[in-house]
Amino acid sequence: MNKIVLITGATSGIGKACAEKFAAAKHNLIITGRRQERLDELKATLETRLGIAVLSLCFDVQDKAAVAAAFEGLPAEWKKISILINNAGLALGKDSFENADIQDWETMLNTNVHGLLYVSKAVLPFMIEQKAGHIINLGSVAGKEVYENGNVYCASKFAVDSITKAMRIDLLKHNIKVTAVNPGAVETEFSLVRFKGATAKAAAAYDGFTPLTAMDIAQTVFFCASLPPHVCINDLSITCIQQAGTYYFYKNQ
Ligand code: NDP
Ligand code: 8X3
């Protein structure tokens, strides 16, 4: 049976690859992001190519009222969400604690932590009503080990790690699975955003090794979502073969 899969941050990178992967398996999708034109383009492509239904919702996950309004206003048939992929997120800057920008810190915490909480709170009543659901949070290896100049980005992903664990415990009674997928370096728009459009600096983030692709992560998320109803992957970390943890890389000589 086709499920409804909600993917936040589907306009780029891992979220977009998840949309393609779940659409290919004939699931219907709710895709979100702030860039309406990218949402429109993805919806048109997936509906035409794969014959699935796609609903796009354009909002900023930092905006609590906008998040609540988007989900309260869903047509009844779209409220039967089976899988929520909390993917929208970003890093801003990679500076030593004393030099980092406070506004960047706030944006990361508001997006990666508050945004994930707002969306989860809005969607959970639909899953509780169905007595089933699966929440998959995009954490990071940066939520397992802090690295130099990673400070508040790492803190935001440590928060995702603990929120995921807390959700899993509290939602046991509702038959809702909660999974964290924690990638190492994945080549997406992540570094371009982190370095605020500085293309050379962003590209240099992947110098000397072959990073994961967005589709590698989408396949992993899809795997977690495809296991039998009684099985829940709790926590899955994944890196490319040239990375171990957050700071060990074996780069091309
Ligand atoms: P991208 O920059 O390619 O994609 C980020 C997505 O998040 C975009 O669709 C963007 O949409 C959305 N987003 C960002 N801020 C907001 C916001 N305020 N409101 C709504 N949507 C927002 O990066 P990735 O695909 O790499 O990142 C996806 C997730 O994976 C993030 O949580 C990231 O922390 C995590 N991750 C990434 C890794 C990597 O190396 N790339 C490694 C580990 C984890 P729009 O701009 O249209 O709003
Ligand atoms: C993104 C991976 O190592 O750049 O979460 O922080 S890293």
The model's pTM is 0.99
Ordered structural domains, the chain, with CATH: 4-90+106-184+213-238 (3.40.50.720)
pLDDT value at 196 more than 80: yes
Closest CA to 135 of 160, 109, 152, 110: 160
pLDDT digits (tens, 9 = 90+) for 149-184: 999 999 999 999 999 999 999 999 999 999 999 999
The per-residue pLDDT for range 127-151, each reduced to its tens digit, is 999 999 999 999 999 999 999 999 9
For ligand 1, whether the C-beta of 13 sits within 6 Å is yes
Separation of CA 35 from chain center: 16
The pLDDT value recorded for residue 108 is 99
Distance CA(38)–CA(11), nearest Å, equals 6
Placement of tokens 């929120």 in the chain: 163
Q: Report CA(143)–ligand 1 centroid distance (Å).
A: 15
List the one residue out of 183, 161, 169, 186 whose CA is nearest residue 232. 169
For residues 165 and 170, give the distance between their C-alpha atoms in angstroms, rounded to a whole number.
9
CB distance 19 to ligand 1 below 6 Å: no
pLDDT at 1 over 80: no
Paired with 133 in beta bridges are 176
Task: Pick the closest to residue 158 from 140, 184, 171, 136 (CA basis).
Answer: 140
Q: How confident is the model at residue 104 (pLDDT cuts 50, 70, 90)?
A: very high
pLDDT of residue 221: 99
